[in-house]
Amino acid sequence: MHRLILASASPRRRELLKQAGFKFEVQPAHINEDLHADEDPIGYVVRLAREKAEAVYAQMRDPEAVVLGADTTVTLDGHILAKPQDAADAARMLRLLSGRTHRVITGVGITSRLGVEVAAEVTGVQFLTLGDEEIAAYVATDEPMDKAGAYGIQGYAAKWIPRIEGCYFNVVGLPLATVSTMLEPHRLRKNQ
């Protein structure tokens, strides 16, 4: 049976993989995550997911290892809203998202002795119109600071999201159905 390695430090990705019944180890990848010139949001997250999986796989001494890399971003009008740099940046992003529908894109990369496989999942997320006081109170919780687009759907911001179109788990950070399908051929150890 193959070992699954998650090439991510994200606690949300760990929780989701565990919820789906996978047995895995965590070994975060350390790669340059700068956006390349003329790179679109889907190309960007797919490249990062692939590079994370490849970087960790290259460090492994186990040919039976299967490495899962992922990267999630928020886009609005074709612009990437990454993790905020500070509280002011978080507030700016939330004002941009207010009253609009944006896209959350997660790139997934799997590297094993079988090669490399990549995919992307896109989910539309609608936000209610937010007031400045609501935004300031949310930013003060620090919840937005480590999240693309400055919010977490599974947290306090959930009350501002009346609907999504697509995979909920994608918005949290890992599209479980896509990942499960991609991992199926690898005969992984399960928790069950």
Q: Residues of the chain whose pLDDT is less than 50?
A: 192
For the domain made up of 3-186, the CATH class stated in words is alpha beta
Report the pLDDT value the prediction gives residue 6, as an integer from 0 to 100.
Answer: 97
| Catalytic site includes residue 71 | yes
Report the pLDDT value the prediction gives residue 189, as an integer from 0 to 100.
Answer: 55
List the domain boundaries for the chain. 3-186
Catalytic residue among 34, 40, 62, 71: 71
**C-alpha torsion sign, points 2, 122, 88, 140:** negative
Report the pLDDT value the prediction gives residue 128, as an integer from 0 to 100.
Answer: 98
Which tens digit of pLDDT belongs to each residue from 40-60? 999 999 999 999 999 999 998
Report the pLDDT value the prediction gives residue 192, as an integer from 0 to 100.
Answer: 43
Percentage above 70 pLDDT, the chain: 97
